[in-house]
């Protein structure tokens, strides 16, 4: 399994339940194909430019190990999740 890093943000007006649902969806997409190593809640941060009329976002960073075929499914799940405004998955070769 390779090491990956997922960074995503939700609208600052989103409640704790919405953030919990996103985490559950990520766990569901990785189940059997990977494991989550670390979850860091970065909190509210200012965006460099407005995205969907938002100037701030609630950021979360997740470090995980997964098979490369699981990344396509995780990306698909995050794209169809309405609460997740933007996300980025990066392969971390320094953590393999």
For residue 31, the model assigns a pLDDT of: 84
| Band of pLDDT at residue 93, cut at 50, 70 and 90 | confident
- Binned at pLDDT 50, 70 and 90, residue 9 comes out as very high
* pTM score, whole prediction: 0.88
The mean predicted confidence, pLDDT, of the chain is 90
Instruction: Find the mean pLDDT for residues 58-68.
Output: 92
Which whole-number Å values give the CA distances from 92 to 18, 42, 69, in the listed order?
Answer: 27, 19, 16
Show the CA angle centred on residue 60, arms to residues 57 and 66, nearest 5°.
140
């Amino acid at each position: 399994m390779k090491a990956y890093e997922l960074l995503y943000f939700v609208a600052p007006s989103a409640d704790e339940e919405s953030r919990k649902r996103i985490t559950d969806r990520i766990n569901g997409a990785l189940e059997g194909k990977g494991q989550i190593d670390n979850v860091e809640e970065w909190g509210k941060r200012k965006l460099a430019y407005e995205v969907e009329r938002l100037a701030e976002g609630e950021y979360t960073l997740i470090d995980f190990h997964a098979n490369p075929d699981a990344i396509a499914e995780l990306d698909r799940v995050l794209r169809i999740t309405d609460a997740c405004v933007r996300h980025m998955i990066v392969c971390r070769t320094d953590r393999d």
